Amino acid sequence: MDDSSEIKDPAAIAVSPYDEMVTGGGQIRFHWQPVMGALRTLPPGALAERMERARRQYDENGVTYNVFADAHGAARPWQFDLIPLPIPADEWDEIEGALAKRASLLEKILADLYGPQTLIAERLLPPALVHANPGFLRQCHGIVPANGAPFIHFYAADLARGIDGKWRVCADRVNAPSGAGYALENRNVLMRTVPELFQSAHVRRLAPFFEMWQTALANLAPRHRENPRIVLLTPGPYSETYFEHVYLARQLGLTLAEGADLTVREGKCYLKTLGGLQQVDVILRRMDADYCDPVELRQESAIGVAGLLDAVRAGNVTVANALGAGAVETPALLPFLPGLARKLLGEELDIASIETWWLGQPDVFANVAKRIEDYVIRPAFGGETEPATDASALDARKRQALVARIAERPWRYVAQARLQKSAMPVWSPNGLQPRPTMLRAFLVRHEDGYVPMPGGMTRVAADDNGVDISMQRGGASKDTWVVVREPQNFVMGPRASGGREPLRRSSGELQSRVADNLFWLGRYAERLDDTARLMRACLMRAPAGGVSAREVAEFQALARMLASRGLIELRFSGMPDGRAMMEAIANACGPDQGISHLFQAIQRIAPTVRDRLSGDMWKVVNDLLKDARLRLESRTGDVDWLFEGVDHVIGVCAAFHGMAAENMTRGSGWRFLDLGRRIERAVYSTAMIRDVFAAAGSQGGEPWLRLLLELADSSITYRTRYMAAIQPAPVVDLVLCDETNPRSVAFQLRAVAEHLDALPQRASRPLSLPEQKIARGAISAIELFDVERLSSIVDREAVALLDELLGATATRLSDLSEAITRAYFSHVTTLRAIGYESMTGPEGQA
Amino acid sequence: MIYDVVHRTTYRYASAVDVSYHTLRLTPRELPYQRVLRSAVIATPAPLRIADRVDWFGNKVSHISLEEPHDELVVDARSVVDVAYPPPPDAVKTPSWESVRDALDGGGLPVEWAASEFTRESPMALIDDTIRQYAAPSFPKARPIFACVLDLNSRIKRDFVFDPRATGVATPVEQVMRLRRGVCQDFAHVMIACLRAMGLAARYVSGYVRTYPPPGQKRRVGADASHAWVSVWVPGTGWIDVDPTNDLVVKDEHVVVGWGRDYSDISPIRGVILGGGAHELDVSVDLAPSDPSAEAKEDR
């Protein structure tokens, strides 16, 4: 535990980084003493156990960071460390002030760039920083944010401390900065897992910052200031920081919206909800600006909102940060900031930027080229995803090649001095290890100034090399403390709680897109369940190898049912033997077969509704289902193994439905999930009854009815109810007409009708909506059916009537699904770009 | 010279489009050498919203949205324009191309900052070694810039074959260089890339050009097309328009709609639709001298 506090070799000190925890004299710094003191009180091995506990918490809360390149799928667990970075309050106050000033300066620069551009005309800013900068959106020039809203509502700065102990700004984050939500979650997890740390330290709370942020967002609304509708615009579940989008939306009380949830009509932006279109006043943007509007920005963007720029220009919606604010995110701006601060603020900046040179100036480039090994070369434009090149790591030939590459387009590069970043301890099983450290600080514009979060997201490099520290490159994050000496009213104890929340009974209107996806999630989950049941019934008859003629007939009927659902391929004709049947089922379970398409469909939809599912439900659809699929796909051939695999799928489906029933609030979201499930089950049961009667044909008899009961999972109910021999009328009554049997068709239809009545009213609603009429029609047709007539399964006339009813019910169910789609999901269509495909200018004048 | 211009765009959709948004750049710009006497853009069905603005480059833009189901959209742009470019400067009297390049660079902080924007690479006019090598022979040491431009203009006309089937609206310059074929848009992009490779400022001009029927035939109404050419910045004179497709300096047979860094800044119509299935696009352009007697004279 004390390995970092060793006194260092004096010769090493000169080249060592600044140590956050220990002074040059080997003393633990004063503000670190509560941290180290608390850690020392823990029994040996405790930190390892706490790390594990924290890992579980992040996991349960679904804290992830998505990395596209990650072979393990999109989401990667959050990397963290339990030792916080404490910063004394007086030092923090200076950082705060300096960053607030810096944010104001960037705001003024943006106002000029998107307005008169006097800074370029007066040669304070090279025009290339604007014209060659993809972050500068020409389409946004001339837009003045509505109602005095700032360009920069939310600002983040990446800070690092050099060997002199002074902080420097390494990068400004203005486009759509991430990390504030992770910072809050880091704090929450640390408080729960190592509460001892907070016992003797007085740490400023983060919650008031988020409360202030809510108010500041509401103040951005061009109208409806008392109760504005604010959405957080996310690129969706495949974005790197999707977890944070969900988390922040909840924290700030915003509706999480994807581009497809919003639409622009008559120059106003609306949220598409089940209740109709609801006007949106403010958009907190977590989408890259150029993807936000396919009409005027990137035309190929399928995730944006068509016409958004028009709505912004009309002053009907405020986007924060403003579209185009990313123009000042370029490191090429850094060398010009001091001059711009003098011009625009009449002041100097209080925290310097990391030493940076823009290579678009020939004399600057010439100087840098001479000593290129002293610099890290970075692209001036483009996101943080582009790697930096540390020229000192290159041999002479590669250095020359680098200079030659820069010379082709020098304005695209900056050279930065290598900053020896300060080190702080990171826990590892082998004790504490020093790691290069960076701090991301966050500020929100409130009233006339920028208010900082007292803390931030500390990040440490994955190894000793600290050129690039980022979560994308496997770094870890830590809690950041602003430590005050005396407890004050804003200091928190070990038990923290946010402000008092007003009571709410619903989580706002459901977006049509989400409703659509939940509906289909319900349908596919049920279809998977039904399919697995059919397969199980089939497998149960297989081991005997088809001894009796009846068993063979049942087997055949089941095989045909599976085949008609596209699940198995019937390669054989005539009488199937057990072996052929087994092969067909084993194939059906394999990868890229019928059942795996169902798994795929569920796994495709589930992430899109992730924020509507509880952690446990998510685990079921994500982990358990994946696991069940793998198990099934690996079990070809062996009947018992297959049987067990199919059984397992049924268990997972049951867990999912059970959790939906027990854990989801009875809002519209649950209703759509259940609607999908009910309609699917009604479709399945209707088809199954029909198929069994068709298979029974004139052979008639009890065995077929028994099969029907088995497939409908109603054997036990039947036995407790009738105790007698199995007869057609009571069986059909139980599986078709009985509204108390949760497996009957009538039960599903009744549930569907109830859901439809309870859904939010649509505008200009007629007395009865088409989908309600269809549902009631289907119910009454079944009610009117004279089930007593089915005295015998071979009564052709009665069976024909039953078949007719089942056929009509199947048609009604498909109409019902379509009517629901039209009524609730119809505006969930994808955007397509169109334009001139070719241009054939005339040639040859006379 | 006064011209009547009719530019009609028709979209036909296989099934009804629920909502559509379009950005139109169809109204000719008012310029010192081009007076727009009349101009109107009419969309059918009538858009629910029309928002007009002037874009970054000074072009007139209309954003329209149609929010009722429609299976056809017709955009009719008509204008009457009087064009008379000033005569070009005497090529030998223009400054050397190197001095223009240096002025545009200005050590990173050029005085001519507005023109310097057009020295930068843009999405559809990327610069590579092929472009650099192709451009070089037109730029010997100390040659006056406009002499360089005229030479390059002629070389492109000579070296490239006009072939509407060879390229599409998104064909990159690199491919045009390989094919040595294309249409006005491709030749303009090649020339722009060449000029920028030398550090000079060039913009893409979109508009219309007067065409003549083959001898003995009548002019076919609507058979014309949009045209594109290049504008190059020459200190002391300003922007001068040259047409590499026809190897000429623009005089009074071109009508300017607007300009940008390349085609992507100034495409006449681009839009986004919801629904609609497959679509068909039909474009017809007609440019004719406003005074019929002028045409009659030329027919002779």
Interface check for A141 against chain B (CB to CB < 8 A): the answer is: yes
- For A528-557, the DSSP string reads HHHHHHHHHHHHHHTTTTS-SHHHHHHHHH
Residue A61 predicted with pLDDT over 90: no
- Please name the member of B57, B114, B227 whose beta carbon is closest to the beta carbon of A842: B227
Q: How many angstroms separate the Cα of A38 from the Cα of each of A1, A25, A196?
A: 12, 22, 6
Q: 122-161 in B: which are within 8 Å (CB) of A?
A: none
A120 to B121: CB separation less than 8 angstroms, yes or no: no
pLDDT of residue A839: 46
Assigned token pair, A548: 């009796």
pLDDT of residue A69: 38
Q: Which residues of chain B have a CB within 8 Å of the CB of A144?
A: none
pLDDT of residue A346: 96
| Inter-helix orientation angle A668-696/A639-663, to 10° | 140
A834 to B168: CB separation less than 8 angstroms, yes or no: no
- Please name the member of A314, A358, A841 whose beta carbon is closest to the beta carbon of B184: A841
Under the banding of pLDDT at 50, 70 and 90, the label for residue A543 is low
Question: Is residue A674 classed exposed, middle or buried when 0-12, 13-18 and 19+ CB atoms within 10 A define those classes?
Answer: buried
The beta strands (E) that lie in A662-720 are given as none
Residue A787 predicted with pLDDT over 90: no
B49 to A841: CB separation less than 8 angstroms, yes or no: no
Min CA distance, B171 vs chain A (Å)?
9
Query: In 3-state terms, what secondary structure has residue A521?
Result: helix
pLDDT of residue A572: 54
Domains in chain B: boundaries: 2-83+267-299, 91-266
Which residue of chain A has the CA closest to B113? A127
Residues B211-262: tens digit of each pLDDT: 888 887 877 766 678 899 999 999 999 999 999 999 999 999 999 999 999 9
Residue A480 predicted with pLDDT over 80: yes
Residues A311-359: tens digit of each pLDDT: 999 999 999 999 999 999 999 999 999 999 999 999 999 999 999 999 9
- Please name the member of B51, B270, B281 whose beta carbon is closest to the beta carbon of A267: B51
CA distance A437 to A448: 32
Q: What is the pTM of this model?
A: 0.82
Asked whether A377 and A195 are in contact (CB, 8 A), the reply is no
Min CA distance, B67 vs chain A (Å)?
7
pLDDT of residue A4: 40
A834 to B281: CB separation less than 8 angstroms, yes or no: yes
pLDDT of residue A387: 78
Residue A302 CA to chain centroid, in angstroms?
A: 17
Which residue of chain B has the CA closest to A833? B272
CA distance A159 to A354: 9
CA distance A483 to A203: 5
Min CA distance, A360 vs chain B (Å)?
6
Residue A539 predicted with pLDDT over 60: yes
Interface check for A120 against chain B (CB to CB < 8 A): the answer is: yes
Nearest to A785, CA basis, from A771, A798, A772: A798
User: Between A117 and A607, whose confidence is greater?
Assistant: A117
Mean predicted confidence (pLDDT) in A185-214: 91
pLDDT of residue A758: 86
Q: Is the peptide bond before A145 cis (omega within 30 degrees of 0)?
A: no
Asked whether A722 and A716 are in contact (CB, 8 A), the reply is no
| Inter-helix orientation angle A180-193/A242-252, to 10° | 80
Look up the CATH architecture of domain B2-83+267-299.
Answer: Sandwich (2.60)
Residues A372-404: tens digit of each pLDDT: 999 999 999 975 456 789 999 999 999 999 999
Residues A211-244: tens digit of each pLDDT: 999 999 999 998 877 789 999 999 987 788 888 9
pLDDT of residue A414: 96
Residues forming beta bridges with residue B6, ordered by sequence position: B78, B286
Q: Which residues of chain B have a CB within 8 Å of the CB of A295?
A: 21-23, 63, 270-272
Nearest to A286, CA basis, from A259, A315, A313: A259
Mean predicted confidence (pLDDT) in B161-182: 93
Residue A461 predicted with pLDDT over 90: no
CA distance A755 to A673: 10
CA distance A472 to A550: 62
Under the banding of pLDDT at 50, 70 and 90, the label for residue A633 is confident
The ipTM (two decimal places) reads 0.94
Number of H helices, E strands in chain B: 8, 14
Asked whether B241 and B254 are in contact (CB, 8 A), the reply is yes
Tell me what the pLDDT averaged over chain A comes to.
Answer: 84
Contact residues for A617 (Cβ-Cβ < 8 A; gap 6+)? A656, A659, A660, A663, A664
Interface with chain B: mutation pick from A305, A333, A406, A843, highest number of B CBs within 10 Å? A843
Q: Which residues of chain A have a CB within 8 Å of the CB of B253?
A: 845
Under the banding of pLDDT at 50, 70 and 90, the label for residue B147 is very high
> Among A14-18, A201-205, A757-761, B198-202, which is the least confidently predicted range?
A14-18
* DSSP secondary structure letter of residue B3: E
A575 — phi, psi (to 5°)? Answer: -80, 115
Query: In 3-state terms, what secondary structure has residue A184?
Result: helix
Residues A708-750: tens digit of each pLDDT: 898 888 888 888 888 777 888 889 999 999 999 999 999 999 9
Mean predicted confidence (pLDDT) in B22-38: 96
Mean predicted confidence (pLDDT) in B69-94: 95
Residue B18 predicted with pLDDT over 80: yes
Place of tokens 């599912």: A613
Asked whether A615 and A663 are in contact (CB, 8 A), the reply is no
Residues A129-155: tens digit of each pLDDT: 999 999 999 999 999 888 789 999 999
CA distance A779 to A748: 10
A842 to B224: CB separation less than 8 angstroms, yes or no: yes
Interface check for A497 against chain B (CB to CB < 8 A): the answer is: no
pLDDT of residue A226: 74
Interface check for A335 against chain B (CB to CB < 8 A): the answer is: no
Asked whether B258 and B208 are in contact (CB, 8 A), the reply is no
* DSSP secondary structure letter of residue A385: T
Asked whether A745 and A732 are in contact (CB, 8 A), the reply is no
User: Between A4 and A673, whose confidence is greater?
Assistant: A673
Which residue of chain A has the CA closest to B223? A842
Asked whether A158 and A170 are in contact (CB, 8 A), the reply is yes
pLDDT of residue B298: 47
Contact residues for A529 (Cβ-Cβ < 8 A; gap 6+)? A649, A650, A653, A654, A657
Nearest to A408, CA basis, from B40, B148, B265, B199: B199
HSE-up (13 A, CA, CB side) for residue A172: 32
Min CA distance, B97 vs chain A (Å)?
19
Min CA distance, A519 vs chain B (Å)?
21
pLDDT of residue B293: 58
* DSSP secondary structure letter of residue A148: G
Nearest to A555, CA basis, from A575, A533, A583: A575
Interface check for B205 against chain A (CB to CB < 8 A): the answer is: no
Assigned token pair, A401: 């090649």
A374: left (phi over 0), alpha (psi -120 to 50) or beta: alpha
pLDDT of residue A469: 65
Residue A9 predicted with pLDDT over 60: no
Interface check for A842 against chain B (CB to CB < 8 A): the answer is: yes
> Among A602-606, B44-48, B100-104, B284-288, which is the least confidently predicted range?
A602-606
Q: 354-373 in A: which are within 8 Å (CB) of B?
A: 358, 360-364
Residue A510 predicted with pLDDT over 90: no
Contact residues for A516 (Cβ-Cβ < 8 A; gap 6+)? A672, A821, A824, A825, A828
A131 to B116: CB separation less than 8 angstroms, yes or no: yes
A264 to B270: CB separation less than 8 angstroms, yes or no: no
Assigned token pair, A280: 């949106």
Mean predicted confidence (pLDDT) in A478-496: 67
Nearest to B47, CA basis, from B76, B78, B86: B76
Decide yes or no: CATH 3.10.620.30 for domain B91-266.
yes
Percent of chain A with pLDDT over 70: 85
A838 to B164: CB separation less than 8 angstroms, yes or no: yes
CB pairs under 8 A between A and B: 171
Which residue of chain A has the CA closest to B9? A836
Q: Which residues of chain A have a CB within 8 Å of the CB of B281?
A: 834, 836-837
Contact residues for A650 (Cβ-Cβ < 8 A; gap 6+)? A529, A532, A533, A536
Which residue of chain B has the CA closest to A302? B272
